[in-house]
Structure 1
Amino acid sequence: MPNSPDPLSPADDPRSLSIVIPMYQEVDNVEPLLSRVHEALAGYNAPWELILIDDGSRDGTGPRLVQQAERHGPHVRVIRFRRNFGQTAAMQAGFDAARGRLIATLDGDLQNDPADIPRMVDELLERDLDLLQGWRKDRQDALLLRKIPSRIANRLIGRVTGVDLHDYGCSLKIYRSEVIKEVRLFGEMHRFIPVWVAGVTAPERMGETVVQHRARAFGSSKYGISRTFRVLLDLLAAFYFLRFGARPGHFFGSIGLVFGMLGALMMSWLMAVKFVLGEDIGQRPLLFVAILFLVVSIQLLTTGVLAEVMSRTLFASGERTHHCICWQSDPQQAGWMSAT
C-alpha cells in the first residue's frame, strides 16, 4: 500500500502528475490497464495519482474499477457517472478532480501505451510546452474505417483552425494543469482539445511526439465511419467559437450584411426596371428573391445583436457548466503514490 502524504504538498512539485482515463464498456480492460499504468509509473520520480471515470457503463466496468482501486491504494480515484454523458464530460470531470501540476490523458482500451507517459512528461518540460500531443505514426487500426477518415479530418482541422497537428484523435496527451483547467469542455469537444487550448495559449507552445499504438485486444471500438460526419459539424462549431466566440455579432452581422447588400442591389435594379423602363415587376422571381434576402439580412443582424448580449452576459456571470456525477471514491481520503 503506497504512502499517503499531505495532499497539498504534491501540488508544489512541478512534476506531480494526474493521469485521467475515461472508460465506457471496458470491463475486460480494467485490470490489465491498471497493471500497465503502475508498471509504467514505477520509476516516476514525483507524486502521481490515477483518476478513472466510468461513463455510465452497463457491463460491470464501474464495480471492477472500484475493486481495482481498493487493491492498488488511495492514489487510484474512481468517478462514476449515473448514466452515459459521453467522453467529453468524462474528461472534464477528470480535469476538475486532478490535483497534479501536470495532467496526462489516455484511452481505456489499451491501445495507448502508458509507458510513453514518463518520456512525454520529460519532453514537455524540456521543450517548455503547455500541451504535448501524441502522434500514432504507426497506427494499428483498420485502414478504411479509421485511418483514412482520420487523416482527412486531421488535415481539414489543421487548415481550418491553423493548429497543424498530425493526429488530433490520439487521446494520449500531456497538459499543464493551469492551462487545460482554463478550458471548459462540453458537447463532444474532446476531439478538438488542442484547438480549444489554442484559445488560452500560443500555438507555438503546443507540440507533438510519436507514441506507440497497439491493436485492440479486448472489447469493441465505440467509433465508426459515422463519426466523420459528426466531426465536420464539430469542426464548424470549433471554428465559430475559436474565431467569433467573444464577438458573435461579427459572424452573424457579416453574413447579414452580405444578404442585405445583395437584396438592396436586386431591389435597386427592379426599381429602375419599374420606373425607368416602365415594365411590370410584380410577377418576377427576382422580386421574391430580393425580399427573401432582405428578410434574412434583418434576421441575421438581430441574431447577431442577441448573440452579443448573451455572450456579454455569460462572460459577466462567469458561470460554468456542471455535470451530475456520482463519486465512488472519497476525494478527501484519496492519496498520492509516493515518489520512488
Structure 2
Amino acid sequence: MNISVVIPLLNEKDSLQELHDWIAKVMQSNHFSYEILFIDDGSTDDSWETITQLSKKNPNVKGIRFLANFGKSQALHAGFEKAQGDVVITMDADLQDNPEEIPELLEMIVKENYDMVSGWKKKRYDSVLTKNMPSKLFNWAARKTSGVKLNDFNCGLKAYRLNVVKNIDVNGEMHRYIPVLAKNAGFSKIGEKVVKHQARKYGETKFGMDRFIHGFLDLITIWFLSRFGKRPMHLFGALGVLMFAIGFMFALYLGIDKLYLNRTGRLITERPQFYLALATMIIGTQFFVAGFLGEIMLRTKQDKKRYLVKESINLE
C-alpha cells in the first residue's frame, strides 16, 4: 500500500522537521511505502529551505513552492494533482493533526471500503468563543444544506482514495467543503473518525473570524453549484418566466381595464400597476438572459491555472 501525505503550509518552518520525523516514524513502523508532499503556499519565512533540507535526507519528501500566497484550496489542488499513492492523506503543518491517526484512517478506507474518511476533532484546544462556537454553527449549517452528515467539515486530517482526489476540483476557498465536492462527484461513501487535536506548538493561527464569514458565503456558493451548477437555466429561467408572467398579467389587466372598463379615466402611465408590470417584465427578462448566458459559459469554459509554481523538489 502506497500512501501520499499532502501538507499545505504557510510560514510553518518551526514545525516542519518535527512533523516530518513524526510522519516518517509512523510510516516506517507500519511498513508503509509513502511520499510526503509539502505545498509551500508562498511562505515568507524559511519554510522552503527546511523542505529542501528534508528532501536531501529523505527522498520520499517532495515539495511544491508557489510564487505567491494563492490559498489552501489551491495548495491542496496542486498536491492532489501530483499525488501518486493508493490512499491520500491530508493534514495541516502546524502539528495540531496527529500522524498516528493515519493507520486507522487507512484501515477504514481499505477494509471498510470508504471513498473518504474525515477527521472529527471532538475535543478541541481552541478558544471557545472565537473558534469552537462558530465552528459548531458552521458545521450545523453545512450538514443541513449539503446532506453530508459530518460533525467537522473543516478538519484538515482526511483520507481519500486516489480516484477521489483526481476527480474533484478544489478551488477558491472550497477546501472546507471537500466532502461535499466528493459527494457531488459521485463518491457517496463518506466516513468520519474521531481524531486527537493537538494544541498549537509553534507560531500562531493563520485564520481569523473572517474565515467563518467566508465559510458561510462559500456554503451558499456550493449549495447553488450543487443544485444548479450544471443547469443554471433551471433556476434563472424559471425565475425569469415567473417574473415575466407576473408583469404580463398586470399589463394585460391594465390593457383590458383601459380599453373596456376605463373606470378611472387615468392614463395607464399614471397608475402604479404600470410601473410594477414594467419592472417585473424587465427583471424577468434579465433572469432569463442570465440563465441563457450561464448555459453558454458552461459549454465554452476553459480550465485556467489558478496558481503559479515557482519551483518543485523530487517531482517531474
Q: How do residues 1-340 of structure 1 correspond to structure 2 at under 5 angstroms?
A: 15-71=1-57, 73-203=58-188, 205-275=189-259, 276-279=261-264, 280=266, 281-314=268-301, 319=303, 321=305, 323-332=307-316
% same residue: 33
Report the aligned-residue RMSD: 1.7
CA contact (8 A) 1:134 1:171 kept: yes
What is the SS of the residue equivalent to 1:328?
A: strand
Task: Give TM-score, length-normalised by structure 2.
Answer: 0.93
Q: Distance in 1 between matches of 2:97 and 2:248?
A: 57
How far is 1:273 from its partner?
4.4
What is the SS of the residue equivalent to 1:42?
A: helix
CA contact (8 A) 2:65 2:310 kept: yes
Worse-superposed segment, 74-83 or 61-70: 61-70
CA contact (8 A) 1:130 1:201 kept: no
How far is 1:266 from its partner?
2.9
Aligned pair count reads 313
What is the SS of the residue equivalent to 1:304?
A: helix
How far is 1:313 from its partner?
2.7
CA contact (8 A) 2:27 2:33 kept: no
Which blocks of at least 5 consecutive residues in structure 1 are unaligned? Answer: 1-14, 333-340
Q: Distance in 2 between matches of 1:228 and 1:90?
A: 20
What is the SS of the residue equivalent to 2:62?
A: strand
Higher RCO structure, 1 or 2 (CA under 8 Å, sep 6+): 1
Which blocks of at least 5 consecutive residues in structure 2 are unaligned? Answer: none
How far is 1:322 from its partner?
5.3
Worse-superposed segment, 27-36 or 254-263: 254-263
What is the SS of the residue equivalent to 1:212?
A: coil
